[in-house]
Amino acid sequence: MTDRANAADETEQDTGDGPDAAHTRPAGLDDATVDALGSLSEALEVVEHARGLLYGFHRLTGTADLTLGEAVSKLRDAGHTELGDRIERELLGRNVIAGRWTFQIVEDYDDGYYSVFRDLEREARDRLAGGRRHLFEAELKEERRTHGEPGHEARP
């Protein structure tokens, strides 16, 4: 058994000074698997970030379109009817990519790539680590924190 696995076994006695059971490696789980699950979790975190940026893109594009509608009205009110009409006709409500508004892009991402990624990450954790999340990070925290020092507690 490896050093990390031995450390995990010691914390299972639950002295309160180590990770809780949800963040303790199950018996027999090797370092290579914990490392692989850590990388899978890290990749999912990047996908979550990308998803957030995609939702930001969706909101910003929608806000721009609404503001563009206001600009069209103001151009017309200022006597620039022809220009306002052209902007409304060619740009207002336009698809951002072929056949799609941003909500459709978000839905395709969520229903396709994102949901498959999330489900497979969960399946890997369930199958290999009893569903436990962030084992790699929990063990890294144990290695790096100063036991007994304020602000270095193992648990909330």
Ordered by start, the domain boundaries in the chain are 31-140
- Report the predicted TM-score, pTM, of the whole model to 2 decimal places: 0.81
Looking up tokens 């890290």 gives 42
- Rounded Cα–Cα distance for residues 117 and 21 (Å): 26
- Rounded Cα–Cα distance for residues 48 and 114 (Å): 8
Alpha-carbon dihedral sign for residues 12, 152, 39, 6: negative
Q: Tell me: the pLDDT tens digits for 4-56?
A: 544 444 444 556 788 899 999 999 999 999 999 999 999 999 999 999 999 99
Give the type of residue at 106: V
Predicted pLDDT of residue 14: 57
Q: Which residues pair with 100 in a beta bridge?
A: 97
Predicted pLDDT of residue 7: 46
* C-alpha closest to that of 104 among 114, 95, 113: 95
> Which of 5 and 94 is assigned the larger pLDDT?
94
